[in-house]
Amino acid sequence: MNVSKSKAIALLVSLVVFVSVATNITTNYFTSKHKENYNVGSSSQLPEGYARFASATKALDTDFTVAADLTVHAVVHVKTKGTVQQPQMDMFNDDPFFQYFFGPQQRNNRRQQKQEAVPLGAGSGVIISKDGYIVTNNHVIANSTEIEVTLNDKRTFKAKLVGTDPNTDIALIKINADDLPTIVFGNSDDLKVGEWVLAVGNPFNLTSTVTAGIVSAKARSIGIIGSNGSGNMPIESFIQTDAAINPGNSGGALVNTKGELIGINAAIASQTGSYAGYGFAIPVSIVKKVVTDLREHGAVQRAILGVNIANLDADAQEVKDVIKDKNIKTLNGALVMNLVEKGAAEKAGVKKGDVINEVNGVKVNSVSELQEQIGRYKPGDKVTLGILRENKPITLNVGLTNAQGNTKVVTYDGTINSLGAKFKEIDTKIQKSLGLDYGLQIESLTKGKFNDNGIKPGFIIIKINNNPIRSEEDVQAAYDEAMRGDDKVLYIAGVYPNGKVTYYAVNLED
């Protein structure tokens, strides 16, 4: 190597060392000044948001493939069928007692004929147990007589309805299968606005689809549950997301980036019925309670506080009057407008004008948040309410009840076994002699609700709760509808073979 070349290399190395040392000295100087200015050792003295910068930037580097792979196989396509019936004139229309039971009936001369099952609609569902329990929306399976489930691997099963809760728009169905893929339940309470989420559904009966977005808001109430008359005590505390959710995704999964279930997709905000920017999901905190009750009892054990409540920022004049009269100075909490006489809240000392802002130590800022918290408990549970009364904080202990004011457990196994009846088609001769166009006859009775209420073998059921009865499936549908209601009663109209028209009211809770 010649000398000039060696000198050039030596000069270059020296220059690199000099630049490195100079950079190090400069960096140390400015870092030292930064520490002096912000005292990095104490996060309380950092600029707002500075302490979370590292974790926030790390959160941006998110790979959705793992969460998608953990969840798509546990999301299914749900298809339903139902029957269409036409109005019919029957032998009961002129009976005054029939009018007393069911109200005035529309008269016409057309005979009613049972139609074959026709498609009603479709949606998605989420497998939550290896042995085939699937959660979906109540509105996906409502009024159906047949439910069919297609898995992500294309296998198809007939599903049995376990139970429904129109008040939260949750339904539980079951297929006969084993070793199915499932989604692990997460914690919707830990969700933060701005957090990434995935909406997983199977709307087209192909394979599951995934869309991504963020949590836009929590505890949203949009007035959709009960708008069709299905839920009489609606509980709405939706997770709002901008992940694309279309109608066929109803009943699908909302999951976090760990692949944990944090909600069941339920609705979209759209004038056209197609995705338009916002979707809504039922928090898994509500889903867990409902599903557990449906599996154990066949009906939700709903706890009632016994209050009529409103948001403090509501425009209603009566709300403004209460706020003014009570000199309320907060907008956080649920305002007590009225109380149910002898209800749980009244017995505990809650008063009109109180502001409930806490349940068992959990802050509640709105009606929807209060409903979500109370919805986690069952009749008989005791909760401690944090209340502002005349702007002064107090606490009251409340023993929750059910809608009937007691703590009795409503049991229902999802079938009509508790009626204790075996059914058969009407004998042709009896049908002609009585002039019946439809009905279902009781062949025999064992211990059960029918026997307890004086119903005898041979009785022909014509209507239950004003619904025509032609088959055991119709009885099941009427039973399901009654169990979803408040009074849990079957109002039965029928006739014995000797022509004696008789009416029964069967209380399903006794």
What positions carry a catalytic annotation?
Answer: 139, 169, 250
| Cβ neighbours, 10 Å, residue 190 | 10
Distance CA 379, CA 408 (A): 7
* Backbone torsion region of residue 116, taken as left when φ is above 0, otherwise alpha when ψ lies between -120 and 50, otherwise beta: beta
Residue 52 CB neighbours (<10 A): 12
Across 20-177, the runs of DSSP E, i.e. the strands, are 75-82, 118-127, 133-137, 146-150, 156-165, 170-174
In this structure, what token pair is assigned to residue 395? 């606490």
Show the 3-state SS of 442-469. EEEECCCHHHHCCCCCCCEEEEECCEEC
Q: Classify residue 301 by burial, with Cβ atoms within 10 Å: 0-12, 13-18, 19+.
A: buried
> Annotation-wise, does 169 bind a ligand?
yes
270 annotated to bind ligand: no
Residue 248 is assigned to a ligand binding site: yes
> What is the Cα–Cα distance from 378 to 363, expressed in whole angstroms?
20
Q: How would you classify the pairing of strands 146-150 and 156-165?
A: antiparallel
Between CA 105 and CA 112, with CA 110 as vertex, the angle to 5 degrees is: 80
* Residues 328 and 388 sit within 8 Å (Cβ to Cβ): yes
Where in 340-379 does DSSP place strands (E)?
Answer: 355-359, 362-363
Structural element, H or E, at residue 334? strand 334-339
139: annotated binding-site residue? Answer: yes
- CB 330, CB 355: distance < 8 Å: yes
Distance CA 314, CA 334 (A): 11
Cα-Cα-Cα-Cα dihedral sign, residues 491, 494, 500, 506: negative
Which residues belong to the annotated binding site for substrate? 139, 169, 248-250
